[in-house]
Amino acid sequence: MPVNAGYDYFAAQKKYQEAKTLDEKIRALEELIRVSPGHKGAENVLAQLKTKLSKLKSQRVSAKKKSGGRVTTVPKTGAAQVCIVGFANSGKSELLKALTGIGEPSPTPYSTKSPRVGMMLYEDVQIQIVEIPSSMQPEFLSIAHNSELVVFLYDAAKPEDVERLMETAEREDLKNVLWVANVISAKKAVGFAVNASTGENVDELKRAVWHRLRLVRIYTKVAGKPAETRPMTLPKGCTVRDVARDVHKDFLKNFKFARVWGSAKFPGAQVGLDHIVKDKDTIEIHVS
């Protein structure tokens, strides 16, 4: 920890620790380097950070090379992006359809030629779901690298697929993954299973996705008015400071106190910037 590191440094450090994708990590590390104290005592730490940054950048270059320079990206919308990865006919399109209403399942293998995108509603949160083609070419796997969660889907009747899929997971070094068996012809499955065409366990999968994203919903409100009906989402463990900063940077600069319904000692209790917010909190920020 650099001597005399300021608040910005710790905030950037937290962002870096929470970054999941390569691009997010690079962005967070650049920010961390930018806000690092420039004095002598901090030189070593700064050098370490710079080495780490160049390593991550070369990882990104080699990922791009593997895909022949082509990288397909799906612009993120909603609270998070979740990528469905699996072999041909494992039921990815069927699952996309069950989760979002969009998707064209087909008995013909490799019929999904480009990424397919839908929006899943979990309670009042919109989560983007992307199906990538079964070919799993690097240019499509780049989507999995950039998403917050990967659902590895396999046909429960083909245990050999699980092994092959695990090899992919290991090779690609994907961190946040959820293994899901699709009960197509199998009678039963080991582990968490859905039936994408009948919808069995699909609601449980939605809940599992939400939990694995490790987010909290916050409803902001203005004094004397009802709270917003649409929540903002932030990483679990974040504080009133993060909420204030997300609403508007002036809210943080001119912050006086906040009233919190939910995680506070009593409904509407006053809290400071360091208060850790919880899922479904309502927050009223007071500024000077």
Residue closer to ligand GDP (CB basis): 134 or 263 = 134
Residue with token string 């839908």: 118
- Provide the minimum distance between the beta carbon of 166 and ligand GDP in the complex, in angstroms, as a whole number: 17
d(CA 230, CA 221): 11
Stretch that binds ligand GDP, among 19-27, 178-186, 209-217, 277-285 (CB under 6 A): 178-186
**Does residue 184 touch ligand GDP according to CB under 6 A?**
yes
Q: Which two tokens stand for residue 45?
A: 């730490």
> In terms of DSSP bridges, do strands 255-261 and 281-287 run parallel, antiparallel, or are they unpaired?
antiparallel
Stretch that binds ligand GDP, among 11-19, 81-89, 233-241, 252-260 (CB under 6 A): 81-89
d(CA 177, CA 169): 8
Stretch that binds ligand GDP, among 41-49, 119-127, 177-185, 267-275 (CB under 6 A): 177-185
Residue 8: other Cβ atoms inside 10 A: 13
Could you tell me the CA-to-CA distances from 167 to 67, 132, 152, 201 in Å, in that order?
A: 18, 17, 12, 26
197 binds, among Mg ion, ligand GDP, none (CB under 5 to 8 A by kind): ligand GDP
139 binds, among ligand GDP, Mg ion, none (CB under 5 to 8 A by kind): none
Q: Name the residue whose CB lies closest to ligand GDP.
A: 91
Residue closer to ligand GDP (CB basis): 93 or 233 = 93
Footprint of ligand GDP on residues 132-151 (CB under 6 A)? 134
Residue 185: other Cβ atoms inside 10 A: 9
Could you tell me the CA-to-CA distances from 192 to 49, 201, 271 in Å, in that order?
A: 39, 9, 40
Residue with token string 């709270």: 227
**Does residue 186 touch ligand GDP according to CB under 6 A?**
no
CB 23 within 8 A of CB 75: no
**Does residue 105 touch ligand GDP according to CB under 6 A?**
yes
What 3-state class would DSSP assign to 65? helix
d(CA 151, CA 85): 6
Residue closer to Mg ion (CB basis): 97 or 275 = 97
Stretch that binds ligand GDP, among 89-97, 122-130, 141-149, 165-173 (CB under 6 A): 89-97
Q: Which two tokens stand for residue 276?
A: 């850790």
Binding stretches for Mg ion (CB under 5 A): 92-93, 112
One residue of 107, 173, 188, 225 binding ligand GDP per CB under 6 A: 107
**Does residue 161 touch ligand GDP according to CB under 6 A?**
no
**Residues in contact with ligand GDP by the rule CB under 6 A:** 86, 88-94, 105-107, 112, 134, 182-184, 195-197
